[in-house]
Chain A
């Protein structure tokens, strides 16, 4: 009895000490003198950018950087430029952003960053003439080529195909189209009959696609060179109930709906760019720069075609959910 009493008392005291100790522990100061990196993504509400933010955050944790991810509710170059400016004035130590369609203001702001001594890394799409540290991202030309191979394989090398891009002024869209054309050109049985601009706006896209399907009745395949259109087309195919079952669609980027469509066989394949790796490597490049090393001006991340058979190759980083600043 006495032993029990004594041990109970001892336990009581020990737990008290631990509890009070944990209170103290909660107030430990974490060094906030880490260099600050800001990711300014073109767009926030997309898995592609989410993965990139995850990559940046993870790299920040691994390499001891303070990271911040800024995104926008829709693609808006002016807002993006303002965010970059804000980051420059805030004296951050590094900026990661994506190249936009041709814009003087964008190039200027990048110059301003260079003058302020802040390295800027472009991801996803490059702007060749802009002042930047380097480009890390998809070889869009290669991506187009891969998409071409997929269309050829899907259609058997015969038939009319269409390409849906967001904006032909966008560097990456252009490169993808070129790559695609370059592959198709080797197969005389296939012709590109139409290139549609959808502007990554769902309403415009749906109209364009409906129009396209109505105008080009003997369409054998569609290459969706930007993220949204593939999902829209798949939805249309499903709604048409068998009318367009022979239509082969190759998408771009990865998303839940795309994965589901691939599983159901409506989407033939999608071009997967590892945005997580882009983000991670961008931070790595910034670290190397700060350490005085030189980084290659252009470095490409993996691009591959995801079909039913190799779905497991997708980088599984969904659980991370890096915090966004959305403007």
Chain B
């Protein structure tokens, strides 16, 4: 039983219901059987008493009858009566046996045994009389025989009288027995009622207990689910975690329901998150498109400007080539060289305008420009290159460095008569994975106020169009790298002005090669 009940904890609602109904029903059936059993028993006791009284009466009735026959037989010698007499005697003994068969150990039992003894003596006398009567019938009724019969008959009558006298005693004793039995049954009856009552209370108790348990098992999960549903309906899906119920409060079906609910909510949450992410991605995309549009715009503007500035490049190239040939005929070698460099520079700027180039190519073209400027300024300005070629395969927008160097000459060291210095340096910072390009001059520089003003101007869109120079470079870097590139300026008037561009770049070479490269330390100096 205990095992059964312990198992209930993990069963389904169906099983629980089955156990509940079986238990209450079995107790009810048991109580019913019990009640019927008690009633049958009480009825039996009463019936038995009644039957015994009847038996006693019947016994005496037959005894009286028998005695009458005996008298007739003995007095009148009526042999025909013998058969009836025997029948009567048999009947009498049946009732006597029924009376002596009583199981109770009582005074009545003793007395009826005595009566039985008396009846035996009585019957012995009958046998004796039979014998005498037969003898008398065979021979002749002698006075001696008649006296014997008479004596026997008298003794029989005495016994009959004794038994007759016993009737009242026997009846009273039997009544007393029946009363005692009834009293015993009655005294037990209270226990039956108590038992019945206890059974009812037990049934009620078990019924209530299981009904409560069962309704709890259904109610707790349903309540939790309802509460959760309300919460979700009121828009708190994001904060909602999951429905949690202790395992002992759950049946199999309910556990399934709760688990299903939890899974469903989890899925809804995931999908909502995905939708949100898509939306933000679209916004980002639109922003990007806008940016691209800006870039295109910008490029178009600068291209137009370049075209306006350069007018007809082919005409310019042809003119330059014609001048170069004239110079060659006139043996002006230096002029030829200068013109060629200028042409190269011009072609580069026209070909790659609006495109990206490798840093190496940009540096190469910067070299051309620097050569031209050296020819122009001679000893007045010294150009210095310090290059770290490890990251020179990095893609950058073209004509980034030339405007900066030009800037340095125009606003920095251009007015110097001697010892102007411009230092161009590339360096790869491995720790931060940044490629660094810096242009430093020791020109007039800017005061702090001027620097602040410049920084402000750089951000304003007007400047980009008006001046192709610093602002243009800044804007292009910003657009090209999406803000990941850093543009830094620092200036100490009359000492130095430094512009530094830092671009994130991941070296592609394997570790080993990189190490070899850095060991070689290939720095080119012009």
A binding-site residues for B, Cβ under 8 Å: 1-2, 5-6, 8-10, 12, 15-16, 19-20, 22-23, 26-30, 32, 36, 38, 66-68, 82, 85-87, 89-92, 323, 325
Interface residues of B in 17-56 (CB under 8 A from A): 27, 30, 34, 37, 41
Whether A5 contacts B105 by the Cβ 8 Å rule is: no
Q: In whole Å, how far is B303's beta carbon from the nearest beta carbon of chain A?
A: 90
Q: Say whether B86 faces chain A, with CB atoms less than 8 Å apart.
A: no
Beyond A5-B209, A9-B202, A15-B195, whether A32 also contacts B114 by CB under 8 A is no
Whether B107 contacts A323 by the Cβ 8 Å rule is: yes
B binding-site residues for A, Cβ under 8 Å: 1-2, 5, 27, 30, 34, 37, 41, 103, 105, 107, 109-111, 113-115, 117-118, 120-122, 158-159, 162, 169, 184, 188, 191-192, 195, 198-199, 202, 205-206, 209
Q: In whole Å, how far is A1's beta carbon from the nearest beta carbon of chain B?
A: 7
Report chain A residues within 8 Å CB of B121: 89-91
Whether A16 contacts B34 by the Cβ 8 Å rule is: yes
Report chain B residues within 8 Å CB of A67: 110
Whether B41 contacts A23 by the Cβ 8 Å rule is: yes
> Which residue of B37, B111, B117, B198 is within 8 Å of A12 (Cβ)?
B198
Question: In the complex, A38 Cα to B118 Cα: how many Å?
Answer: 14
Q: In whole Å, how far is A269's beta carbon from the nearest beta carbon of chain B?
A: 38
Q: In whole Å, how far is B170's beta carbon from the nearest beta carbon of chain A?
A: 11
Question: In the complex, A1 Cα to B209 Cα: how many Å?
Answer: 9
Q: In whole Å, how far is B36's beta carbon from the nearest beta carbon of chain A?
A: 13
Whether B117 contacts A85 by the Cβ 8 Å rule is: no
Whether A325 contacts B169 by the Cβ 8 Å rule is: yes
Q: In whole Å, how far is B173's beta carbon from the nearest beta carbon of chain A?
A: 9
> Which residue of A5, A12, A23, A66 is within 8 Å of B113 (Cβ)?
A66
Q: In whole Å, how far is A34's beta carbon from the nearest beta carbon of chain B?
A: 9
Closest to A86 in B: B162
18 residue pairs of the A-B complex, CB under 8 angstroms, read: A5-B209, A9-B27, A9-B202, A15-B195, A15-B198, A19-B188, A20-B37, A27-B103, A30-B105, A32-B109, A66-B113, A68-B107, A86-B162, A89-B122, A91-B117, A91-B118, A92-B114, A323-B107
The secondary structure that dominates the A interface is helix
Question: In the complex, A16 Cα to B199 Cα: how many Å?
Answer: 10
> Which residue of B1, B2, B162, B188 is within 8 Å of A89 (Cβ)?
B162
Question: In the complex, A132 Cα to B43 Cα: how many Å?
Answer: 51
Beyond A6-B5, A32-B105, whether A86 also contacts B195 by CB under 8 A is no
Question: In the complex, A5 Cα to B19 Cα: how many Å?
Answer: 14
Report chain B residues within 8 Å CB of A9: 1, 27, 202, 206
Whether B184 contacts A26 by the Cβ 8 Å rule is: yes
Whether A12 contacts B199 by the Cβ 8 Å rule is: yes
Report chain A residues within 8 Å CB of B120: 91
> Which residue of A8, A32, A68, A325 is within 8 Å of B205 (Cβ)?
A8
Report chain B residues within 8 Å CB of A38: 114
Closest to A68 in B: B110
Q: In the complex, given contacts A16-B30, A16-B195, A89-B121, what are 9 additional A-B residue pairs having Cβ atoms less than 8 angstroms apart? A: A2-B5, A6-B5, A12-B195, A12-B199, A19-B192, A23-B41, A30-B105, A68-B107, A92-B117
Beyond A9-B1, A32-B109, whether A90 also contacts B114 by CB under 8 A is yes
Whether A89 contacts B202 by the Cβ 8 Å rule is: no
Q: In whole Å, how far is A43's beta carbon from the nearest beta carbon of chain B?
A: 19
Q: In whole Å, how far is B166's beta carbon from the nearest beta carbon of chain A?
A: 8
Report chain B residues within 8 Å CB of A90: 113-115, 117-118, 121
Question: In the complex, A8 Cα to B120 Cα: how many Å?
Answer: 58
Most chain B CB within a 10 A radius of its CB, from A91, A92, A323? A91
Question: In the complex, A179 Cα to B105 Cα: how many Å?
Answer: 46
Most chain B CB within a 10 A radius of its CB, from A16, A27, A30? A16
Closest to B1 in A: A6
Question: In the complex, A30 Cα to B205 Cα: how many Å?
Answer: 43
> Which residue of A5, A10, A36 is within 8 Å of B114 (Cβ)?
A36
Question: In the complex, A16 Cα to B158 Cα: how many Å?
Answer: 53
Whether A29 contacts B103 by the Cβ 8 Å rule is: yes
Question: In the complex, A9 Cα to B192 Cα: how many Å?
Answer: 16
Question: In the complex, A20 Cα to B195 Cα: how many Å?
Answer: 12
Question: In the complex, A100 Cα to B184 Cα: how many Å?
Answer: 43
